Structure 1
Amino acid sequence: MKLSHQLVVSTLAVLVLSACSSSPAQRRQAKNDFDYLNTTPLKDLQLLKDAEPEFYKTYQIPSGQYTGGQGKEVDIRPPQQVLELIPGARVERKNGDITLWVLKEDELKKIWRTTQDLFVKRGVSMRENTESRIETDWLSWQTEDEDSAVAARFVLEKVSSLRNLGIKISLVDWREGAQSLSVTASNKERYTTLLTNIIESRYDDERRQEMARKAEQLVKHIPISLGVDRSGLPVIIARISYDLLWDKLPTLLPAMGFEIEERNQSQGTVKAKYAAPDDEFWTRIGVKPINLKSGSYTFLFGDLGNRTSINVTDSKGKPIEEKLLKDMVPVLAAIADDKNK
C-alpha cells in the first residue's frame, strides 16, 4: 500500500537542531559503546563454611521479570509531552494510548469535529469515520530521527467514564519503509502524543479565532458612562473587559490627543502627554471641546470583570476635576465608535 497521505511533523514534533549533522541512529542512541551487553552474568556469592552473610537493603535490586530494549534498542530521545491547549481537559495515559477527558458533551463534539476536519483538510484517508469512531489509513511522518520513512495507523474512539467524556487515541499499526513491524511501546507513546498535540493545536487555533470574532463583535460599540468607585469617587466606566480595552488603547488615546509615553498592563497605568486637537477634530466627532490643559497625565484602569474603570490624574498625581472627567466620557465614546466603523 502506498503512503499516499502525509502528516508533517513540524513544531509539534521532535525538534532537531539545524547544526546537528549526526545520523538518525546517533540521535536515538547513547554515544558510548554497548560493551556492557557482554558482561559476564552474575553468580551467587560463595561463602566460607559457617560464615554468616550480612546484606544492606540500600542498594538492593528488586527481583522480578523485566522486559525492554537493550543497547542500540534503547531510545534516548526525551519523551513527548501532551500540550495543555484545551481548557479544562484532563489527559490520561495508559499502555501508550492517550485519552482526553472533558466534562461537557458540547466540548467533546467540538474536539471530535475538529479532528474530522483536520483529517479531511490534510487529505487523510479514513477506513471508518462515524460519530463515535475514526480509523485512519496509513499516515506517513516526516522526521529526521528515523532511519527510513515511517507510517502509522490510528484509531480514535469516543469513551465515557462516570461523568467524564473523552476521546481515546491509539496507534494500532506501524510500518518502516515498506516493512510492517510490531508497534513498540516507545513508538506508540511518541507518535500518539504527536497526533494528540496536532489535534489540540488545531482545536486551540479554532478556539482563538472564534474568541477573536466574538471580541470583534463585542467591541463594535462600547457603552461608556460616568460612575463611582468603591470609595464613592467619580470614575469613567467602560462596559468592556479590561484585556479587550487595553488592546484598543494604542489607537483610542492617540486619537483623543494623548501621546502614549509609558504603559504597564499589570499595574493598569498609562502615562501620556496631552495636546488639544484642532477644531476640525471636534467638528468631526460632534462633541464639545473639553477644557483640559496640555501636559502630562496618567490613566488608571481597573479590572471589574466585564467592565473597566478609568480614572485620570495630573502630573502631580492628583485626580482631575469631576467635570473634566465627565466631559471626557462623550469624547471617549465618540472615538471608540469612530474606530469601530
Structure 2
Amino acid sequence: MTYSLQKSMVAKVVGISLVMLLAACSSDQRYKRQVSGDESYLEVPAQKALNTPAGMILPVQNGDYDIPPVTLNGAVGKALDIRPPLQPLALLNGSRTQISGSTATLLLENSAQNSQLWPQVVRVVQDKGFTIASRQDASQTLTTDWIMWQRQDEDVQYQGRYQISVQPQGYQVAVVVKLLELQQQTNPVTEPSQLQRYTGLMLNTISEELDSQATARENALANRTSGSLDVQSGADDTGLPLLVVRGPYSVVWERLPTALDKIGMKVNDRSRPQGSVSVTYRAPGSGTWNDIGARDPELPNGDYKLQVGDLDNRSSLQFIDSKGHTLSQSQNDALVAVFQAAFNK
C-alpha cells in the first residue's frame, strides 16, 4: 500500500515537471534568434608567432597576405541574432521602398489615383488601433503614441513611437515612417538592427493595409465594370507594338488569366505591382479557335513575358519572347481579334 502511494506520488511529480518543462519550452523564443550547433569556434586559441629553428633562413617577408588584427565588437555565440533584416514590402502597383536606419519610405506615383493617400494612411493607423498623439492635416504628418508590437520571435515585446507623413516629391509621393523611440520593458533600445526591424515593421503594416484598400476598391470597380473589353493594336513610346485594351488596369488584370487560358497560354507567375505575367504558350487545336471565334495567330510556341501597363481608363499588353524581343507588328495585329474574343466570350 505504501509502495503504491509512493509510486503514485512519483508519477504525479514527474508529470507536473514535464508539463512545466513543455510550457517553458513553448514560451522560450530564443531558438528563433540564436544559432544552433557547436560553439567550439569561440574557444579557438589565439594565433602565435612562427618559431623557427636557430640558423634557418626564412624567405623575405611579404605583407601582401598578412591578416590585419581586428577588434570584434559585435555579438557572438548565442548572443548573435541570426534573423535576416526585415525587408520593406513594395506591394502597391508601381511602388518602391527604401529603408535606412530609423527611416523607411514607400514611394508611389504622384497621380490622381494616389491623390487621397493621406486620408488613407490615417485610416490605416486608426483601423489598426494605433493611438494618434498628434496630427497635422496641413502638413500631412502624425505622431503615434506608444505602440506595443506582438511578435512571436520575441520573448519580451518591444514598443515604439512613430512619425508618419505623406510628402509629395515631384512626380512621386512618399509615405515616410520615422521611428522616434524604441523600448523594451521601458529600457531604451539603440541597437541598429532592431531599430531598422521595427521601422520596417510599421512601413510594412501601412503598405499591406493600403494594398488591401486598393484591392477592395478595384474589386468593387470590377464588379461594376463587367461589360465587354475592346482591344486595338497600338505602340509604346519607342514604336514597339502592343495591344491596347479599353478597360482600367484592375479590370483587365482580373480578367486576364481566364482570357489567357482560353487561347492556350498557361500562367506560370504574375506580379500585380510590377504588372508582369509569365506565360507558356502551346498552340491549341483548330477547335479552340472555332469556339472563341478567332483565327489562329500562328504565334510560336514557347515562354513569354506579358507586360501589363496602366493607362488610366485603358491598359496595354506587350508580349516579350524568351530572347527579349517584342512581337512583330504582324504577330501583334493577329492577337487583336484573339484577345477581343477571349475577353468577351
How big is the alpha-carbon RMSD for the aligned residues of Structure 1 and Structure 2? 4.8
1:81 aligns with 2:93: no
Q: Which structure 1 residue ranges, 5 or more long, are not aligned?
A: 1-19, 231-237, 250-260, 275-295, 313-327, 337-341
Deviations 1:201-240, CA, capped at 9 Å, x for gaps? 1111111222222223333x4488xx9999xxxxxxx965
Deviations 1:146-190, CA, capped at 9 Å, x for gaps? 1123322222234566665423212232233x3323232121222
Instruction: Quote the Cα distance in structure 2 between the aligned partners of 1:102 and 1:171.
Output: 21
Distance 1:31 1:214, change over 3 A: same
Question: Which residue of 2 is the match for residue 217 of structure 1?
Answer: 224
1:93 aligns with 2:87: no
AA partner of residue 34 (structure 2): Q
Q: Give runs of aligned pairs for residues 261-300 of structure 1, distance below 5 A.
A: 264-265=264-265, 297-300=291-294
1:32 aligns with 2:37: yes
Instruction: Quote the Cα distance in structure 2 between the aligned partners of 1:270 and 1:139.
Output: 56
Distance 1:216 1:91, change over 3 A: same
Question: Which residue of 1 is the match for residue 149 of structure 2?
Answer: 141
Distance 1:26 1:239, change over 3 A: closer
Question: Which residue of 2 is the match for residue 201 of structure 1?
Answer: 208
Contact 2:117 2:166 in 1 (8 A): no
Q: Which residue of the other structure, out of 63, 71, 75, is the alignment partner of 2:77?
A: 71
Alpha-carbon distance, 1:80 to partner: 2.0
Distance 1:60 1:125, change over 3 A: same
Instruction: Quote the Cα distance in structure 2 between the aligned partners of 1:239 and 1:268.
Output: 27
Which TM-score applies when normalising by structure 2? 0.56
Instruction: Quote the Cα distance in structure 2 between the aligned partners of 1:197 and 1:246.
Output: 28
Question: Which residue of 1 is the match for residue 276 of structure 2?
Answer: none
Contact 1:114 1:199 in 2 (8 A): no
Instruction: Quote the Cα distance in structure 2 between the aligned partners of 1:161 and 1:229.
Output: 35
Instruction: Quote the Cα distance in structure 2 between the aligned partners of 1:229 and 1:55.
Output: 67
Contact 1:268 1:300 in 2 (8 A): no
Percent identity, aligned pairs only, is 19
Question: Greater RCO between the two (CA within 8 Å, min separation 6)?
Answer: 1
Distance 1:138 1:265, change over 3 A: same
Q: Which residue of the other structure, out of 116, 124, 134, is the alignment partner of 1:118?
A: 124
Distance 1:246 1:107, change over 3 A: closer
Find the residue that maps to 1:186 and give its secondary structure: helix
Distance 1:160 1:150, change over 3 A: same
Question: Which residue of 1 is the match for residue 136 of structure 2?
Answer: 130
Contact 2:105 2:203 in 1 (8 A): no
Contact 2:88 2:98 in 1 (8 A): no
Instruction: Quote the Cα distance in structure 2 between the aligned partners of 1:96 and 1:268.
Output: 50
Distance 1:248 1:191, change over 3 A: same
